[in-house]
């Protein structure tokens, strides 16, 4: 009797295993459900990840040969108190097929190339790209800039090294639009080359564009301004899109300002023009 019960139990276990195995095969076989990772990625792909660039299993891999020159740059010492000329890079297609540059990724928002998404470089041709480096903070910095190809593949990279010294330090160094308010106070502090505070009085003579106003000065090497983001919106709205003070982006088919370079004129001989980066959300 015990032997018969054991046989029945074994039979039931085998049947259950076959049922579960069949269900497992159904829900995981390629193309049966959205669990196919390539299918899901193609369905949900947005900016920065091109659906047509994602390879399914068995599709041939396309090798891109995009080269950047130079691959490493040392800008030396730069400052928020001085004009910084853009860096020029050359992108060369050493391959046999055209390459499409869909965008770029940098380790810091302070590195901004002048490059329209969708730029195509034919085989054997090259493209010159101007890259702006905005000094944020103090001390030595090392940034990497990657150019992305169709399918969000990395095409070529450049390393940019530099050191920042500024006679007047804005705090915060990058002024970001608040979530709940339309204004932001920025403190300005006189410092030496090592970043130490200097009790040396300075005055603010002007602000360009007029999207901020002077609010305070203690007379001992500190001052403050208040940035008006609604005023920046109005200036951007009136702009034709070619204003070099702005960095632009497109969201939902609509152009909007991404960042702005605000210039504060002072009577400090070591920093007559302080450039502050303002960023939209």
199 touches 193 (CB < 8 A): no
**pLDDT tens digit string along 9-62?**
444 444 444 434 443 332 322 233 333 333 333 333 333 333 333 444 544 454
**pLDDT tens digit string along 64-89?**
689 999 999 999 999 999 999 999 99
Q: Using a cut of 0.75, tell me whether the model's pTM lies above it.
A: no
Average pLDDT along the chain: 81
String of DSSP letters for 144-183: EEEEEETTTEEEEEEEEEEEE--SEEEESSEEEPPSS-SE
Per DSSP, which regions of the chain are E strands?
66-69, 72-78, 87-93, 99-106, 111-113, 119-121, 126-133, 139-149, 153-164, 168-171, 174-176, 183-190, 204-208, 212-217, 222-228, 246-251, 254-266, 273-279
| Residue 201, C-beta contacts closer than 8 angstroms, at least 6 positions apart | 217, 219, 220, 221
String of DSSP letters for 84-125: -PPEEEEEEE-SSS-EEEEEEEESSTTEEE---TTEEE-TT-
pLDDT value of residue 64:
62
The pLDDT > 90 percentage for the chain reads: 66
pLDDT value of residue 218:
75
**pLDDT tens digit string along 131-170?**
999 999 999 999 999 999 988 788 899 999 999 999 999 9
The pLDDT > 70 percentage for the chain reads: 77
**Residue 63: pLDDT band by 50, 70, 90 thresholds?**
low
For residue 251, is pLDDT > 90? Answer: no
In angstroms, the CA 146 to CA 159 distance is 9
For residue 199, is pLDDT > 90? Answer: yes
């Amino acid at each position: 009797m015990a032997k018969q019960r054991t046989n029945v139990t074994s039979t039931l276990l085998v049947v259950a295993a076959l049922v579960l195995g069949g269900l497992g095969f159904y829900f995981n076989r390629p193309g049966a459900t959205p669990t196919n990772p390539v299918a899901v990625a193609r369905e949900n792909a947005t900016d920065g990840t091109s659906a047509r660039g994602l390879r399914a299993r068995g599709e041939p891999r396309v090798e891109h040969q995009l080269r950047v020159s130079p691959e490493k740059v040392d800008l030396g010492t730069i400052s928020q108190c001085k004009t910084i000329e853009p860096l020029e890079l050359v992108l060369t297609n050493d391959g046999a097929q055209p390459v499409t540059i869909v965008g770029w990724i940098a380790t810091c928002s302070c590195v901004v190339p002048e490059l329209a998404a969708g730029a195509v470089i034919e085989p054997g041709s090259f493209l010159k790209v101007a890259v702006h480096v905005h000094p944020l903070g103090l001390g030595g910095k090392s940034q990497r800039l990657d150019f992305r190809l169709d399918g969000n593949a990395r095409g070529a990279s450049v390393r940019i090294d530099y050191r920042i010294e500024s006679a007047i330090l804005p705090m915060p160094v990058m002024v970001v639009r608040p979530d709940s308010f339309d204004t932001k106070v920025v403190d300005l502090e006189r410092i030496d080359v090592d970043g130490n505070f200097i009790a040396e009085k300075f005055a603010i003579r002007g602000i360009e564009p007029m999207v901020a106003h002077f609010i305070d000065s203690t007379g001992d090497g500190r001052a403050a301004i208040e940035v008006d983001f609604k005023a920046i919106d109005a200036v951007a709205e009136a702009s034709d899109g070619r204003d070099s003070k702005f960095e632009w982006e497109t969201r939902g088919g609509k152009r909007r300002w991404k960042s702005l370079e605000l210039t504060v004129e002072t009577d400090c001989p070591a920093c007559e023009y302080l450039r502050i980066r303002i960023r939209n959300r």
